[in-house]
Amino acid sequence: MKRILFVLFLFCAYSGSQTAVAQSQENRVIVNADQAEYEISEHIYGQFSEHLGRGIYGGIWVGEDSDIPNTEGYRTDVLKALQELEIPNIRWPGGCFADEYDWRDGIGPRSERPKTVNTHWGMVIEDNSFGTHEFLRLTELLGAEPYISANVGSGTPAEMQDWIEYMTFDGDSELANLRRKNGREEPWDIKFFGIGNESWGCGGNMTADYYADLYRRYQTYAKDYSGNELYKIASGWSNDEYDWTETVMREAHWMMDAISLHYYTIPGPSWGNKGPSTGFGEDLYFDGLQASLELDRFIEGHDNRMDKFDPEQRVALAVDEWGVWTDPLPGSTPGFLEQQNSMRDALIASLSLDILNSHADRVRIANIAQTVNVLQAMILTDGEQMIKTPTYHVFHMYKVHQNAMLLPIDVESTEYSHNGESIPSVSTTVSRDDDGVIHITASNTHASESQEVAFDLRGTDVDDVIPGRLLTADSVNSINTFEDPDNVSPVSFEDATLEDGTLTMTLPPRSIVVLGLE
Ligand code: AHR
């Protein structure tokens, strides 16, 4: 399946008030409910938590002796908020950090673990108090699958193999017994296993040919112990670097389950000027949304190269780092990648998730960067305080699509134009869950105009609208703060009617809606 056809109708400029409704029926979505082919893997809704800044330490892990209320050392407030997201998988320990991580530093009594230097993220001391046991216990508490990213850049195949044996072997080996001595009798089930991260950059600065050889070598020693079955993910490139994907696929596609793709949305003009995460105007709002839509083109490009060697789509594309990346917050520690999270970023999340869902045939795992306090975070903390970001709410609204069947759609959308550029005003995902309920998530990207959208529901006889929720805000740059934590948060949504198989809803400016049909 290729990207859903966007038919852009010419938009007649409307000269009315700021929140005027665009002309009726200009936004139309045909839903072919009887033509579902692909399931939206729950793993598209994965998270990424790296040893970076306050992502783990302070954000998730505070230790049992902390004054901050905790459960076995994990912040209780953060744990509860994350549990509500029903996270399917979490990627750890990096990122760039993974390719300098020695797993042996993070096991055994915490007081005896070595202090090391996190050379990638601020040269800060890593006390290794959060290691393998702590991460895997976190995944248990969240009901998520672990996604371990192994060290190929500076580690050896033997170290990697030992780590797998330590975690997954249930026999009488020295490493399995060491795990038991460290408090874990049963082996863990480890599914997702990344072999290197950005091996073209921070993960070793390799060429595609060299990495392809290393991938083949390392994956040989990524063994399945005691019935565990690893799902092996090769390191891919970012954006439109398709040749890397082609080389690695050509040399090793039959030895992998997935190859990764990273894509960060930069609202500003360049990496050196990414733009602030607060206080921006409509220019950086529009540019951010427009940049996020590039993900669709990049997935198509990598998918096409993968098709050359894998037309049956056995190998998945793992978009295991994505999200908005802005300039760091003024006054924050360099290298900690701290940024606020606005209504714009909520829309970047919904547009990106719509793109990922629409490629459910090839994209079967994705991980937003990152869970807490880093980049496009779900949660921000400050000492004892915690807030849920607008992006958190999008993930909460979109969880209805996890493991649901993607319903094919044709979208006719008006355009949101700004500074001579245009993007579609409407983006949507429609899916049907195991109980037969159809869920629609729909976004209005327009900064100042409402959109009426008609969903023409074909091949289904739904007759009831289940009231939904709406996320919007006073302004494109609205944020949640510790003083005003619910400034951007969902409210109930009932502005939808179902008549003769057509659902009509009105989306306020800069908004996201979820609702059900049965
Ligand atoms: O998410 C931050 C960093 O971005 C990751 O460590 C790296 O893989 C990517 O470049």
For every residue of 189-245, DSSP letters joined together read P--EEEE-SSTTTTTT---HHHHHHHHHHHHHT----TT---EEEE---BTT-HHHH
203 Cα nearest atom in ligand 1: 8
Secondary-structure percent of the chain, ordered helix, strand, coil, rounded to 5:
25, 30, 45
Q: Is the CB of 368 under 6 A from ligand 1?
A: no
Q: Is the CB of 197 under 6 A from ligand 1?
A: yes
Which residue among 48, 50, 241 has the greatest number of ligand 1 atoms within 8 angstroms of its CB, and so is best to mutate?
50
Q: Classify 138 as helix, strand or coil.
A: helix
pLDDT digits (tens, 9 = 90+) for 413-471: 999 999 999 999 999 999 999 999 999 999 999 999 999 999 999 999 999 999 999 99
State the catalytic residue, choosing from 198, 251, 415, 452.
198
Which residue among 321, 322, 372 has the greatest number of ligand 1 atoms within 8 angstroms of its CB, and so is best to mutate?
321
375 Cα nearest atom in ligand 1: 1
pLDDT at position 18, please? 32
Kindly provide the residue ranges of all beta strands, DSSP E only, lying in 235-348, ordered along the sequence: 258-265, 316-324
Q: Strand order of the sheet with strand 496-499?
A: 6-8, 409-413, 27-32, 451-458, 502-507, 496-499
d(CA 19, CA 77) in angstroms, rounded, equals: 37
Q: Residue 178 is inside which H or E element, if any?
A: helix 174-181
d(CA 317, CA 314) in angstroms, rounded, equals: 10
48 Cα nearest atom in ligand 1: 1
Q: Is the CB of 95 under 6 A from ligand 1?
A: yes
pLDDT at position 428, please? 98
Sign of CA dihedral 496, 499, 503, 504: negative
Q: Is the CB of 22 under 6 A from ligand 1?
A: no
pLDDT digits (tens, 9 = 90+) for 376-394: 999 999 999 999 999 999 9
Q: What is the pLDDT along the chain (518 residues), one digit of tens a residue?
A: 433 333 333 333 323 233 444 444 489 999 999 999 999 999 999 999 999 999 999 999 999 999 999 999 999 999 999 999 999 999 999 999 999 999 999 999 999 999 999 999 999 999 999 999 999 999 999 999 999 999 999 999 999 999 999 999 999 999 999 999 999 999 999 999 999 999 999 999 999 999 999 999 999 999 999 999 999 999 999 999 999 999 999 999 999 999 999 999 999 999 999 999 999 999 999 999 999 999 999 999 999 999 999 999 999 999 999 999 999 999 999 899 999 999 999 999 999 999 999 999 999 999 999 999 999 999 999 999 999 999 999 999 999 999 999 999 999 999 999 999 999 999 999 999 999 999 999 999 999 999 999 999 999 999 999 999 999 999 999 999 999 999 999 999 999 999 999 999 999 999 999 999 99
Which residue among 52, 54, 96 has the greatest number of ligand 1 atoms within 8 angstroms of its CB, and so is best to mutate?
96
- Kindly give the distance from the C-alpha atom of residue 53 to the centroid of ligand 1, in angstroms, as a whole number: 12
Cβ-based neighbours of 205, under 8 Å, separated by 6 or more: none
What does each C-alpha distance from 52 to 27, 287, 327, 340, 468 come to in angstroms? 42, 27, 16, 16, 36
- Kindly give the distance from the C-alpha atom of residue 92 to the centroid of ligand 1, in angstroms, as a whole number: 11
Tokens of 506: 């009105």
Tokens of 129: 């108090």
State the catalytic residue, choosing from 100, 134, 165, 321.
321
Sign of CA dihedral 431, 437, 438, 439: negative
Would residue 198 show up in a list of annotated catalytic residues for this protein? yes
337 Cα nearest atom in ligand 1: 2
d(CA 392, CA 368) in angstroms, rounded, equals: 11
The protein residue whose alpha carbon is closest to atom 7 in ligand 1 is 95
Q: Is the CB of 196 under 6 A from ligand 1?
A: no
DSSP H helical ranges for 2-47: none
Q: Is the CB of 126 under 6 A from ligand 1?
A: no
Tokens of 441: 């998530």
Q: Is the CB of 320 under 6 A from ligand 1?
A: no
The protein residue whose alpha carbon is closest to atom 2 in ligand 1 is 95
Q: Please state the φ and ψ torsions of residue 431, each to the nearest 5 degrees.
A: -145, 165
pLDDT at position 334, please? 84
50 Cα nearest atom in ligand 1: 6
d(CA 138, CA 146) in angstroms, rounded, equals: 9
Residue with tokens 């009509």: 504
What pairing do the DSSP bridges indicate for beta strands 438-444 and 426-432? antiparallel
pLDDT at position 233, please? 99
Q: Is the CB of 198 under 6 A from ligand 1?
A: yes
Would residue 321 show up in a list of annotated catalytic residues for this protein? yes
Q: Which residue in 274, 326, 332, 331 sits closest to 121, CA to CA? A: 332
Do you find a cis peptide bond into 370, omega within 30 degrees of 0? yes
The amino acid that residue 145 corresponds to is E
120 Cα nearest atom in ligand 1: 6
The protein residue whose alpha carbon is closest to atom 3 in ligand 1 is 95
Q: Classify 112 as helix, strand or coil.
A: helix
pLDDT at position 266, please? 98
d(CA 200, CA 243) in angstroms, rounded, equals: 12
CA 499 to chain centre: 35
The protein residue whose alpha carbon is closest to atom 8 in ligand 1 is 95
